Every structure is written in structure tokens, then in C-alpha cells.
Structure 1
Amino acid sequence: MTHNSDPILPNDAASYTAMALMASRSFIYVICGLFLTVGLMLIYLSLSLDERQVLHSETDAARMLEGRQDKIGTVLADDAFWIDAFSYTYGSINTAWAFERDNIGPSLFSTYDLDGVFIIGPNAETRYGIIDGELSDIDASEWITGDLPALLAKARRESVEDEIAYAYFSVRGTPAVVFAAVIRPDNSYDQFDQLSYLVYADVLTDSKLMVIQEAFNLRGLKANLGAAPDARRPQLTLQEDVGDMVTLQWESEALGRSVLSKFLPMLFLLGVVVAMLVKNLRRRIIHASEMIEAAQRALQVSEQRFKNISEASSDWIWETDRDQILIYLSERFTQLTGLPCHDWIGRPLSELLTYDTTVLASAAEHCNAAGRKPILCEMRDSNDSLHYCQLFVREVRVGDQLQGYQGTVCDITQETEAKARIEHISHHDSLTGLANRHRLNQYLNDRLNQGLSGDRPLFLLALDLDRFKPINDTFGHATGDLVLQKVADAISRCIRETDLVARLGGDEFIVVATDCRTYEHAERLCQRLIEEINQPIRIYGNEVSVGTSIGIAAAPYHGLTAEDLLRYGDIALYEAKSKGRNLFQFYEPAMNERIMERRQLEMDMRQALHRREFRLVFQPRYNATTQKIVGAEALVRWLHPTRDLLSPACFIPLAEETGLIFELSDWVLHEACLNALSWHDNVLVSVNLSPMEFQRNDVADRIAAVIERTGIAPQRLELEITESVMLEDATSALTMMKKLKALGVRLSMDDFGTGYSSLGYLRSYPFDGIKIDRSFIMDLDQTQSSEALVNAIISMGHALALTVTAEGIETAEQLGKVVELACDQAQGFYLGRPVSPMQFRQVVEEMELS
């Protein structure tokens, strides 16, 4: 048989196939390069657009700030280099000229939105100050935080050139621009040691930043003292050669990223479609090439080694003889371990990997069995670092003759360590590293299952930190977290290795002590914990201190389950906290009964308002000299359905703790004002406010609503406030009292004299009167020291233009002394006990008729 055409040679077919595959790959590379170029160009253009936006907004912000500072600086220069300013402030400050005639007065605040204006003497003393448009005695160095003398020195230097100085400082924790200039009659006057300084403070408050934000489209504008908390842009750093650094930071509109987010998905979808088309074309080319090559190529059976390699997934490949002596290692072995291959050829595999040689032979024999598992082993690399590995193995046979073993090794170090980390995280608190609730329950159950006796008890200590909430509120949660870590370290230092410390969350800790043999040992451990936790903690230059209260439950005395011990420890902890701070308390069954009784009382109180079980009584207050009624104090009583009439001491603390005090206080205010409407117009009604009400910002709004609903004249309502309100948060309390005074009501400090700084509060807070605590009146008619003390309080109150009321008058002699000492008003059982609203109304009517 003859052929008319030349046959296609095998080499030619392979060449054609290779050319077709190369062409298809080149086409794919071109398409990928094209899409990649378009994508990169799109990303570059979008990012460039965003960068130009950032630069433009930063330039606008800089111009805005420069214009504002120029405006204030011009005003400052006009006021400071003014002969009238020098004339009326040199020697002594003419307040009438400066403030009342508004030459250096309130108009600066309304016109230029300043927050503080000060005149500071040559010796850096504050001679004149206006804060928020009002005259103030606050020293400028107290109000402005920073190196104010350095700014004054700079102002002195700049004055030679008729210039002013400014820098950035902190005012009450808020960034501020502070301007300063020397007050002098003309530029020839250079006796600076005799001249005063005029200082303007422009605080970058949230309201000002909001105005700037809207005017210049600086969305989310924030001002930070120091460097910004993150390095994102846009931002503007402000700093002079004196003062602090201030960073302005806002959000970019990110138009480029917006464009990118719209077009990239479209480009991606187009790329997917093109990829599918190219893939289909390449598959057809490959299929045609394979058909040509298959027609000329003889099938060959791959060697056993490469067949096994193709079936296994491995990191590096090994092969041994029948005695498990290495005869081959792949190049990946050196890349992954750093060990040379030739150093291990001819050595046993068991020297390289730690495994059981008999297990390897058995696994290789059953390599084709379903569900086979790899052999776990370990090895060390060239740096002597330990690696965890999986060993896969199969037999190498020629016919029925075993020639050796071959397989792969997969490094699972990262997976093993990650599993260990996950195991640790699941049992430990992420903040302190202590055991968590899950680990605590596991530990308790294990120890309790081992059995306990009177000779080997187990003590569970439930700890709760005292004074921790003010640290979080004052310094922030980051500082609070550091304090918790320090406390965790302190607790760990007090226990033994066999004990367990756990954090349940917040500021709650649990100590499981297993080596305490007696109650005395547990007491010593509690005392050691209290002393260690009470040590001052220094964080970020601030020294803070916390205490702890501890509740103790013991097994087998109190319970034999983890749930019971934790519950009893919590009950004992509540008992310890109710008795004060830095105390520990062992659990007693009676505590549980008190807890249940308290819970029942709480449930009853929640229904009491709806059932109208609360009652008001009024204790009259008299003019001490004329003994005519001037007012009455509203006192609440609870007519309990089963426990008869309860005094406030039985339920007010519980109402404050559960939050029911707000609803109860609204009811008392409303009822007291309604009753007062039936009295004579000059008779006041006094209502006590709980300190808890000042922890919310709505107390003024609630009282305004009561006044509006009842129609009572605000000046007839007197609110009695204890000093503890100021001790908790003096700044917030002052703000709230100003809001109350704006309603027109009277404010009186109750129990005056029991706090440690009442005089300071009387000077700073807008009180109308004080009530001398009954403890000072008890011995008034018996000791001269008591009389002198009461006399001093009355004199001080009158000096501050306050109405002084003596509480607790129980004898005629006490009343006589109060009148003799010129006290304004008196109140007590001798003058009148608390009576019902109807009885008090009758007393008032009888007084009017007499």
C-alpha cells in the first residue's frame, strides 16, 4: 500500500501542539495584561483624585484657621495697644470701664465667639477674668492648662514689633487657641516688667467645630490634643514654639473611591465574561492538540514513584529502602527545613522524624484502605526549631516483592499552634489572661469531684472592685482595662500555684483557694488580697487606687456544687459591700433569707406606686423669731399591705439601687406641689432630691414638667440637696444646679456640716439656704462648744446671704438658743411633727386666722 501524502512525524506534532499552546497562553497574557492595566489605571486615577481632595481640604482648613486667628489677633492688638486700655488697667483694673462699659467685656464673646478673656499682671497673677461672658475669679493658669508664662514671654518679645503671640493649649481638656499681647500706651514704652498682658482664649468646642465643618465642608471635624489617635488623612497639625500640639482631623469625601467602587465591579464582570470565552477557546485548542498528539504518541505507563507523587498532596517527598533508610529527598526538603539533602541520604528516616517504625510499616501496608490517617511526628529544622508534621506513606513493590517505602511530609506546625491558642482563648480572659467562666466551672467541678473534707476544704472568694467605675468615667475604658490588668497581677501575687484566679467580666474576680485549711487561713488570704489591691496604681502619670470587697463560700461547709458556691459567694459579697468597703464576709444562711426578703420588698415597691400605697406627710418649718409657719418639708411614707407604715430609711436606699427612685421622686414632687397650691401663697414646700437623680441629665426637665403640670409658682418650691451630690461629680452637679436655678426654684443644702468641704460648696454653688444638721442641735443647750459651732455656721450663712434653718429642735431650750443666735428658721418635733396633708392645711388656716 502506498500513501499520497507524507505522514506527520511525532516531533512535528509535538511542535505544533507546543506552538498552539504557546499562542493560546500569549493571548491569555495579553488579555490579562490589558485588564490589569485598565484596573491599575482606574485605581491610580481614583486614588489621585482622593489625594487632591485631601490636599484641597487641608489647604482650606489651614486658610480657615489662619483667617480666624488673624481676626482675633487683630482685635487683641487693637485692645492691647490702646492707650485707654493702658490707662484703665495700669495699677488697678477699672471693672466698670472694662466690663460694664464693655470695652473689654461680654461683646468679645458674642462678636468673636471667645471663651475666656484675662488681664494678667507682670508677675503672672490674674487681675481680671471673664469666662463664658461672665466675670470670674478663676485664675487663668488654672483654667488654661499649659506653659502660660512662656506665651507671655513670647508676647513680650513680639510687642517690640507691635505684634501679638499665640499658642495652643488645653482648656478643661479641650484644645484652645490662646492669644496674648502686652498692654502698653505706645510702641516706645518698653518697661515690660511693669506692664500687664491681655489674653484671649478661643476654645475649639464641638459647637465651633460644627460651624467650621458646615462652612468649609469638613465632615466629621474633630480637634485632638497632641498627635491624632490615628495617622489617617486629611488632618492638620497645629503647633507653635510654645504650647501644645493640636491636630485637626476630618473625613474625606473619597470621590475617587466612590468611582472605583462603581466601575471595578463592572470591569470585574467584563473580565469574567472574557475569561470564560478565552477559557473555552483554549480548551478547544488543547483538545485539538491532544487529538493530534494522541494519534502519534504511544501510551506509556508512568513510573510508580511519579504515580504515587501525583496521588499525594505533600510539602516534601521522601523514599526509603525496605529497612527505612533514606534513598531520596525532594528539593523542597531543603527549602522548608534548611537541612541539606545529601547529609541525610543513607541515614534512617527515624533519625529525621520521631515516629514508631512498626506503625509506619503497618500504615504503608494498609495505605489503600478507606479512612486511613497520617502518622503524627515531630522534627527539628536547621535552627533547632521544633516542627509538628503529618507523615503519609505507601509501599513500593515490584510484583509481590517489597522494595521500600515512599511518601510525603506535611508541616502542620501553624495549625497545631493555632489549635493550642484557640484552646487557651476558650479557657482564658482575653484582657487579663486569667481563667474565664468556662475554665472556672471546669476547675471547680474537677476539684469537687475529687472529694473534699473538713481537713481539705475549698474556699471560693468572690471579689468586686470598689471605686472602679469613677476611674472608667474619668480616665476612659483604656485606663480602666490597664487597672484591671494591674489588679489581676496583684491577685496572682497573693495566691499559690495550685489555686485558680478567674475573671467573670467587668470588675468581678473569683479566687479558688485549695491550700487554706481553716477559716483563719482564708481570712489571712482575704486581708492580703485587700492590702495588695489597695496599693496605688500609676498609669499615664495618674495615680489611681481601688479597693475590693470579698464574699467567701467554702466547700463542703456551704455547698458541694460549682453553682451553689458561686451563688453563695455572690451573696456574701453583696453583704460585704453593704457594710462598707475593703471588707470580707463569710457566707451565712441568714444572708440568703435577707436577699430573698430584699427581692420581695423590691417587687412590692414596683407595684406600690400603681396601688397608691405611698403617702405624703408634711413637717412644718417656722420662723425662729415669730414662730409663724414659713414652709413645710414633704416626707414620703409607704403604707405596706403586710408590713404596715414604713419609714423612708426602709425603702429609699432600695429605690436608689434599683432605679425606682426616679418614678417615686416624680410622684413626691407632683403630690407636694399639688398640696402646696391649697396653702397660703407665702408658704414654701420643700422636697428632698436623691443624689441618684443627679447621675442623669433630666432632673431639671422633670422638675420643669411638674411645675408646668401643677401650676405652682417656682419660687414656692425648695429642693433640698445633700452634699454627696457635689462629692460625686462637682462639675456636673454645678451645671445641673444652674439649670434648676434657671427654673426659679430655691436650692437648700441639707444636713449642712456633715461633709468635709461644705464651705467651698456654698461659695461656688447657687444655694439659697442651708439646714444645720440635727447632730449640731442636740447638744446646743448643754455645751458651749456646740453653741459656738452653731453660731459660727449661722454667721457664715448670713455672710453669704443664705437662709439658715436649724433642724431637730426638740426642746424649748434648744429653740431659745436658736432664737438667741439669730437663726432664721427652725424645724423639729418640739415645733411640729410630720402630719397628713389635711392636718397641715388646717394648721396653716388656723395660723392665718390667729
Structure 2
Amino acid sequence: MPTQLNRVARQASLGFFALVTLIFTLAGWMLFDLCARIDEQQRHHSEADAQRALETRLDRLGRVLTDYSFWMEAYARTSKKVDVNWAYEEDNVGPSLYSDYGVNGAFILAPNGVTRYAVVGGGRSKMQLDTWLGDDQATLLAQARERSLKDGHAQGYFLIEGKPASVMVAVIRPDATYQDFKRLSYMVFVDILTPDKLAQLGQLFDLHGLTAQPGALPALAERPTLVVRSDPGIAVTFHWLVHGMGQRLLAQFLPLLATMCGLALLLVWYLRRRIALAARQTDVAEDALRHSEQRFRTVSEASSDWIWESDAEQRLAYLSERFVAVTGFSREAWLGRPLHELLGYPPSQVEEVARTPLAAGRSRRPLPCEMRDAQAKLRYCQLSAQPIISGGLLAGFRGTVCDVTEEIEAKARIEHISQHDALTGLANRHQLHRYLAQRFAEGVSASQPLHLLALDLDRFKPVNDSLGHGAGDQVLCQVARELRASVREGDLVARIGGDEFVIAVNGCLSAEQVSLLCNRMLEGIGRTMRIDEHDINIGASVGIAQAPQDGHSAEDLLRYADIALYEAKAAGRNTLRFYEPTMNQRILARRQLETELRLGLQRLEFELDFQPRFDASSQRLLGAEALVRWNHPIRGRLAPAEFIGVAEETGLILGLSDWVLQEACSQAMDWSPELIVSINLSPLEFQRDDLVARIHKVLERTGIDPARVELELTENVLLDDAAGALELMKKLKALGVRLSMDDFGTGYSSLSYLRTYPFDCLKIDRSFVSNIEVSESNAAIVEAIVSMGRALSLTVVAEGIETAGQLARIADLKCDQAQGFHLQRPLSQARFAALREQSQPREASNDASRTPVTY
């Protein structure tokens, strides 16, 4: 006789047949609907891709057009007359536009729209743009003028050579504020949508068979369509192919779905026969399964490591094998002993588990505990426990012990790393801010002040550059040890990055005591360090701010200490400065000067003066030194000392130096071929890899003989990176230019430099010339320098000649050349031209006693 379970199974199997059939029918309908939706979405997505493809093409060419148009040099070369050599021969607006960007036509139009210059198909052309655009050209130029106010350009589609083409127009202007469009030319790019370009664009954006046709054509059922319009211009219709992913998906999965439906029906029939047999076996397995589920839940709830069981008094009755591996004890040594003796927890905590109602069904929190293993090492554990109930009574406990020692130790290490610098072990920026926040929260007052010392190392970069970062790391560690040794227990020393340190000093200290502390730090840092058989000497600068005197927050105090540090570095380094409110004002003034300097470079507010150089004996004109002047619109004419420092700090010195090099060499081309032009280089330029390329470009652009160009550099260039400077100077000499060491005699290593570096000239510092008439020691130094220069085949120039007596003494000492106010002050371009004309008869007469021309 079939059991009740079997009868229910037979009835249920018939329902399963109907249910499976319904499910697969719904699945097939959903598959059809899904594939249709996929095809529709794919079509919409491809239309968006087509739109994005066109926008990408227009955006790319638009950026190129505006970069070329909003360019000071483009304005200078095309405003009145197109410099064809610059535009085509130097390929600024030339063949590369066609080869690199696919621009079929590049035009430069006069303000009235007449074509001044054209490049079509990568070659020069006399074509007029209105031949292609017709009357729409004027409208497109008007749009370009209007959009130029927002750094934009005009664009439209036109029919050119029977194909749709994108035409872009931008105004060529010197800067964004210039709006006199009657004087501005236009730059035009013509991009014809050829089949090759459309194929390439389609390949990039998965638009197969992309075509473009003029006019607004109707959409095709089998092909997606995109219509773009422009005013002025025409409409363009784009078509392409879409391979229906939904149809392919349907063809692949529909047979599979039918097969699965048949298999499911067959499986239900088979299960119908097996359910009856399974029902008879269910009662037998139910008790065993219930016991297995209970044990599984117990183990799965615990954080499994080693498993234990105990009686009601918590005496251990079972220990797993893992117990031996973790603790090092044998199981026999602890069986029968209380578990709390091993783990050191109060027994009542486990007994509370028994009083927890079993119906609660909630997970129990592990008990934290500690133990000593067989090697007496402290280990951290988590104990999980559940009661064992038999016949309604507590029979014991069962649970696991999880060893979390590594996790806790790792957490402690992570906490330490997050608060300390990995290299030096000092506090890091995060801990510094936490410390300052806590210190200000506790209260900072006149009786409990806080001094913040911002310290930055001097001459540290050459250590990294010459000896490597390993040596630099050793220096930083040595400095960290020195700083820790200099402060007290409650003070904080932090490294906040690179070679920057911050020291927080507590206690009521006077300015003298803080100065003594800083000087002690500077003295310790300044001692010679022995690193890998190298003796290293560095220094440091310190800026000091005090709370509450200077600031009432950590942010203010850090900022003021940085400002004071900046002042210490500006004062000559290896010194200290206390913050004063006037320092902040100087910083703001310096930032204002930086802003004005940027605008001055954009507006070309600079000009050159030339200080002549003469033969020391005959006073024959030999050349001139180029000196830059800034015609500030408000402050008037500024000397280099007032703005060169800011230019070097902000990196603007590179743009200024490019202008000086170009202008000086261009003007020197009008001089006599035997006259040289001397140009000063900043040490910052020697830290970049492009100096040789920049000099070479100026020489090629101006056409000047490199032998007439003399580059002046100071000893600081050699101190920062001696090996790199030598390599760079050799490359400069390969260009054919002359190299001169300026301010010779003021550095402590200049004599050795002359033997190593390829100098052509050295200029004796004016400090040795100023009292040469009365100081025999200065005269002896000058004579020694002249003799040494002659021995090394160097030209020796005496700077700062201000009296006739100084000139006569220099000539007596056989110095080659002289320069100074007595001979001639710096002159404008026009006055230097007049001096060159007047110098001809003086050179012919060779009269050394003649008084120089003055202005």
C-alpha cells in the first residue's frame, strides 16, 4: 500500500509537469522580448556612439585650432603679414596639420576675410576660402568673433568637392582681453569627411560601414541614422550597420531552452519514482540528520581554531588535535583540568551561557581571554561556548578557542605605522595634527605656551643626487636622532615629508631659551656626518611660531612657522627666525609681484639694456652684456634685483630667459661681426634637461654665429650638481658658444673649477676692483687671477670699473677686458647703436686716454 507521502508525491508530480511547461513557456516569451529589447538598445547605443565619435573628432580639431590661434607667437607672425617661413617652412601652420590631424585645408584670413595663406592637402596653395564656403564665410567669421570672447571657435558643415566637410574658424589673438576684431586675422581648418576618415572613425567606435551624405535624409529601417545640422552650413546624414546581438542570442539560446524543457520534464518523471523510495528512508535518517545538524551549528557558530568540550564544572573532557599545534601542550596534560585555569577567564562568564534561554536563538559574543603557551609566550584568544543539554539538564559545555594573537599584534603595528614615519620612526603628519589638536583642546595660554619649530635641511638635495637615496635616508635618520636628543620627554618631533621636520616644544620658555635650543639643533645637524666613506656636511633653517602669542589654532601655528622658515632661508640659510606679522605682509607682497610678473611676461613688458665691454688697454669696444629691465605699468622701470628672485622661485625665470636669449641674439645680429653679446643664465636653468635644446633653437632661429654668444653662470651652478653641470657645459660648448664664470673670486672652490670646467672667460668680482688703487692685497689677488687666466688661456674681465685710476691699474696688471660705469653705463638699444658708431674712430686711433662717451 502506498504511504500518504507517496500519494502526495504522485499528485504533486502531475502539477510539476504543468508547472515546468508553464515556466519554460514564460522563459521562451521573455527570451524573445529580451532579444528585441537588446536589438533596440543596441541601435540607440550605436546612435550615441556615432554622436560621440563626431563630437570627439570636432573636439580634437577644435583644441588644435584654439591652441594655434590663441598663441602670442601666431598673432605676432600673422597679424599684419603672414610669415610664410615661420608658418610653412618651420611647419607651425604647415604640412603636419594634414599628416598628423588629417586637416585637408588650413587657411589664414585677413580681418576682411581675404585669404592670406593656404595649405591644401599638405602643400601650399593659392586657393581662396570663399571658393569653398561662398557667402556663408562671412556668417561663420562673425560666429568666430562672438565665440572668441569665451575662448571658443565657430564650426559648420559644408559641401566641399562633393563631400561633406567640417569647417572650423577661430580668431588669432594675443590674449583673452584683446577684442579689437577689426585688426585680428582668422585661422580656418577644413576637415573633409572622406571615406578613409569615416572608416577610421567607424573602426574606433564600432560603427561598421559608416557613410556621410549631404542633406537630411530619412531614416532607414535596417540601418541606424544620425542627422547633424549647422547654421551656416548644410545638414549631413550618417548611416552605418548594426549586427543584431539579440537575434544572435535568440538563435543560440532558443534550442538550448527547448532542450532544457524536455530534460526538466524527464527529470520530474524520474523524481516521481524516486520520491516514494526516499520517503521510506527519510524516517531512518531523520534522527541521525538532526544530531548532525546540531553539531554542525555548534561548530559553525564558533570562530573555529581548536575545539573543546567540558562537563558542567568546566573540566575538559575533549580537545581537538589543533590544541596541540597552537598551545604546544599535550592533550593529556589538560584533560580533566578546568578550562579557566588555561585561559584565565572568570568561570562565571561561561556559566552565564547556561542561563541564556535556548529559545533566544541569538549568537553569543566570544569571550576575550589570554594564555601562556608551552614556551611561556603570551597569546590572545577568543572563547566561544554553548551549553550541552541532556534530558533538560545542563550536562556541560562545548565550543572553540580562536587564537587572535597575530591579528592583535598586526593591529598594533598598523596603529604604530599610521602614526609614525616609516624611515625615521618619528611622528608623522597625522600624529602631529592629532598632538596639536589635543594640545590646543587642553588649553594653550601664556603660562602654558607652545612653540612650534619648522625645520628644513639645507644642501640635502646634492646628497641624494650625488650619493643616492640610500645615503640620503641615512642622513635623515641621523638628523632624526639629533632632534630627538635635543628635546625633552613631553615634546614631539615629527617628519612631515622629504627633509621637512616639525618640533612641538612645551613649557614656558623665553625667546633666548628657544634660540639656544634651535642653535643646539643646528650645531648638531651641522656636524660632519660619515656616510659610506663619505664626509657629508649639511645645514638647516628653522622658523619659530608661538601659541597663543602668534596663533590660536594648529593650522595658524603651522602656517606661521612655515612663513618664518621661509624668511630664515631667505636670510642665508643655516639660521633661525621668529615669526613676525610683517613676514606675512612680505609674503603677500611677493605673491602680488609674482602675479604681476606673469602678466608682464604675457604682455612683453620687458626690454634689454646693454653694458659695453672694452679692451682694458685700448678701450676698444668688444661687445656688451645684456641686462633685462621691467617696464612695470605702475611701479615704473624695475632693475633685475627687484624681480629675478621671484622669477627663479616660481619657475617664471625659464620664460623670461627664453625671451632674453631671443631678444639679445636678435639685436646682436645688427652689430659688427666681431662684437660678442654676453647673457646671464640662472642656476635654475641648469637643473632642467632642455637648456641645450633651448640655446640651440635660439641660435638657429636668429642665425647668429655661436662664437659671438657668451653665456655667464655663477659658481652656484657647480655647487648644486658638479657632475651634471660639467656634462651640460660640454654640450653647450659643442654648440660653439662661449662660457664665462661670473663673480669669480667670491666662491671657495673657484680655482679648482677652472681646471675642470670648459670656461672661456672669467669675470673678476667688483669687490676686488673697488679699492685696487689703495689696496696692495687686492691688486695682488687681481694680478694672480690674471696670471692664472693667461696660463689657462682664459679671457679675464674686470667688473665694476668706476674711476680712471681703477682702469689704469687694471691695464697695468695686464687684464684683458674691463667693464663698469666709468667706461659706460648700461645703454638702451638706440644708445648702444650710437656708441658703436662713435667707437669706430676711437678704435682706429687706439687712444687709451680718451674719455668714453657717456649718456
Fold in common (TM above 0.5) = yes
| Distance verdict in 2 for CA 1:327–1:821, change over 3 Å | closer
TM-score (norm 1): 0.62
Aligned to 1:827: 819
In the TM superposition, 1:500-511 aligns within 5 A as 500-511=492-503
CA RMSD of aligned residues (A): 2.9
Per-residue CA shift, 1:684-743, capped at 9, x if unaligned?
Answer: 221112222222233232222112111222222222222333333333333333332332
Which blocks of at least 5 consecutive residues in structure 2 are unaligned? 2-266, 843-855
Of 688, 692, 710, the match for 1:718: 710
Give the distance between the partners of 1:745 and 1:605, measured in 2 at CA: 29
- How far does residue 530 in structure 1 lie from its aligned partner after superposition? 1.8
Q: Is the 8 A contact 1:688 1:721 kept in 2?
A: yes
Equivalence for 1:787: 779
Match of residue 619, structure 2, among 611, 621, 627: 627
Q: 1:762 to 1:392 in 2, by over 3 A?
A: closer
Provide Cα deviations, 1:534-574, integer angstroms capped at 9, x if missing partner. Answer: 33333333332332212122222222222112111111111
- Within the candidate set 334, 338, 348, 1:348 is matched to 338
Paired with 1:342 and 1:757, the residues of 2 have a C-alpha distance of: 81
State the 4+ residue runs in structure 1 displaced beyond 6 angstroms.
none
Give the structure 2 partner of residue 842 of structure 1: 834
Determine the structure 2 residue equivalent to 1:562. 554
Letter in 1 for 2:386: R
CA 1:410–1:829 in 2, change beyond 3 Å: closer, same or farther?
Answer: same
CA contact (8 A) 1:806 1:826 kept: yes
Q: Give TM-score scaled by structure 2 length.
A: 0.62
Do 2:447 and 2:508's aligned partners in 1 also have CA atoms closer than 8 Å? no
8 Å CA contact retained: 1:312, 1:408: no
Bigger shift: residues 512-521 or 446-455: 512-521
Q: Distance in 2 between matches of 1:521 and 1:784?
A: 46
Instruction: Provide the C-alpha distance between the structure 1 equivalents of 2:660 and 2:385, rounded to a whole number of angstroms.
Output: 85
- 1:388 equivalent to 2:362? Answer no
- The residue number in structure 1 matching 2:524 is 532
Counterpart mapping for 1:90-105 below 5 A? none
Alignment of 1:223-234 (within 5 A): none
1:438 counterpart residue number: 430
**1:841/1:609 Cα in 2 relative to 1: closer, same or farther (>3 Å)?**
same
Secondary structure of the corresponding residue to residue 680 of structure 1: coil
Q: Tell me which residue corresponds to 1:587.
A: 579
Q: Give, in whole Å, the separation in 1 of the partners of 2:377 and 2:756.
A: 69
Deviates more, 1:798-807 or 1:435-444: 798-807
- For 2:287, the aligned partner's letter is Q
Matched residue, 1:99: none
Structure 1 481/604 Cα, relative in aligned 2: closer, same or farther at 3 Å?
Answer: same
Identify if the C-alpha distance between structure 1 residues 509 and 785 changes in structure 2 by more than 3 Å, giving closer, same or farther.
closer
Matched with 1:752 is: 744
Q: 1:531 to 1:293 in 2, by over 3 A?
A: farther
Deviation, structure 1 residue 364: 4.4
Q: CA deviation at 1:659?
A: 1.9
1:499 matched to which residue of 2? 491
Secondary structure of 1:635's match?
A: strand
Q: Give the drift of 1:306.
A: 4.1
Deviation, 1:315, is: 2.1
Residues 364 and 570 (structure 1), Cα distance of their counterparts in 2 relative to 1, 3 Å cut:
farther
Cα distance per residue 1:31-53 (max 9 Å; x no partner): xxxxxxxxxxxxxxxxxxxxxxx
Quick check: 373-382 or 320-329, which moved more?
320-329
**Residues 125-524 of structure 1 mapped to structure 2, 5 A cutoff:** 294=281, 297=284, 299-301=286-288, 306=295, 309-313=298-302, 314-366=304-356, 368-370=360-362, 372-515=364-507, 517-524=509-516
Compare 494-503 and 586-595 and name the one that shifted more.
Answer: 494-503
Matches within 5 A, 1:103-114: none
Distance in 2 (CA, whole Å) between partners of 1:837 and 1:583 is 43
How far does residue 533 in structure 1 lie from its aligned partner after superposition? 2.2
CA distance in 1, matches of 2:284, 2:361: 35
The code of the aligned residue for 2:422 comes to: S
Give a deviation string over 1:163-186, Cα, whole Å, max 9, x none.
Answer: xxxxxxxxxxxxxxxxxxxxxxxx
Does structure 2 conserve the Cα–Cα contact (< 8 Å) formed by 1:462 and 1:570?
yes
Describe the SS at the equivalent of 1:392: strand
**Aligned-residue offset at 1:439:** 1.4
Paired residue type of 2:790:
H
Residues 419 and 797 (structure 1 numbering): CA distance in 2 closer, same or farther, change over 3 Å? closer
- The CA distance in 1 between the partners of 2:698 and 2:375, in whole Å, is 79
Aligned with 1:390: secondary structure?
A: strand
Q: Alpha-carbon deviations, 1:719-772, whole Å to 9, x = none? A: 222233333333333333333233232222222222234333333333333222
**C-alpha distance after superposition, 1:386-442 (max 9, x if no partner):** 121111122222344333333221111122222222222222222222222111111
Other-structure match for 1:158: none
Distance (whole Å) between structure 1 residues aligned to residue 321 and residue 723 of structure 2? 73
The equivalent residue for 1:708 is 700
Give the distance between the partners of 2:728 and 2:807, measured in 1 at CA: 35
Aligned amino acid, residue 300 of structure 1: D
Per the TM alignment, residue 299 of structure 1 is displaced from its structure 2 partner at its CA by 4.4
SS at match of 1:610: helix
Q: Using the alignment, how far apart are the partners of 1:372 and 1:292 within structure 2? A: 37
SS of 1:551's partner is strand
CA–CA separation in structure 2 for the residues paired with 1:388 and 1:800: 77
Shift of 1:327: 4.1
Mapped to 2, the partners of 1:518 and 1:761 lie a distance apart of 46
Q: CA contact under 8 A between 1:365 and 1:394: conserved in structure 2?
A: no
Question: What percent of counterpart residues are identical?
Answer: 55
Match of 2:691 among 692, 695, 699: 699
Q: Deviations over 1:798-845 (max 9, x none)?
A: 333333222111112222222333333221111111121111111212
Work out the CA distance in 2 between the residues paired with 1:814 and 1:460: 52
Structure 1 portions without partners, runs of 5+: 2-279
Tell me the distance in 1 between the aligned counterparts of 2:513 and 2:463: 32
Contact 1:691-1:724 within 8 A present in 2 as well: yes
Name which of structure 1's ranges 684-693 and 736-745 shifts more when overlaid on structure 2. Answer: 736-745
**Compared with structure 1, are the counterparts of its residues 792 and 416 closer, same or farther at alpha carbon in structure 2 (3 Å cutoff)?**
closer
| 1:658-669 alignment runs, 5 A limit | 658-669=650-661
Kindly provide the CA deviation profile for residues 479-529 of structure 1, in whole angstroms up to 9, marking residues without a partner as x: 222222222222222222322222111111121222453333322322222
Where do residues 633-652 of structure 1 align in structure 2 (5 Å cutoff)?
633-652=625-644
Change in Cα spacing, 1:364 to 1:567, as seen in structure 2 (3 Å) is farther
- Contact 1:364–1:393 (CA<8 Å) still a contact in 2? no
Contact persistence 2:803–2:822 (CA under 8 A): yes
Alignment partners' CA distance in 1, 2:784 and 2:418:
64
Q: Is the 8 A contact 2:665 2:677 kept in 1?
A: yes
The code of the aligned residue for 2:545 comes to A
Q: CA deviation at 1:667?
A: 0.9
- Name the residue aligned to 2:605: 613
Query: Equivalent residue of 1:456, what SS?
Result: coil
Asked if the contact 2:301–2:363 (Cα under 8 Å) also holds between the matched residues in 1, the reply is no
Query: In structure 2, what is the Cα distance between the partners aligned to 1:735 and 1:331?
Result: 70
Rate the CA distance shift 1:402–1:775 in 2: closer, same or farther, 3 A. same
Taking the aligned partners of 1:334 and 1:726, their CA distance within structure 2 comes to 68
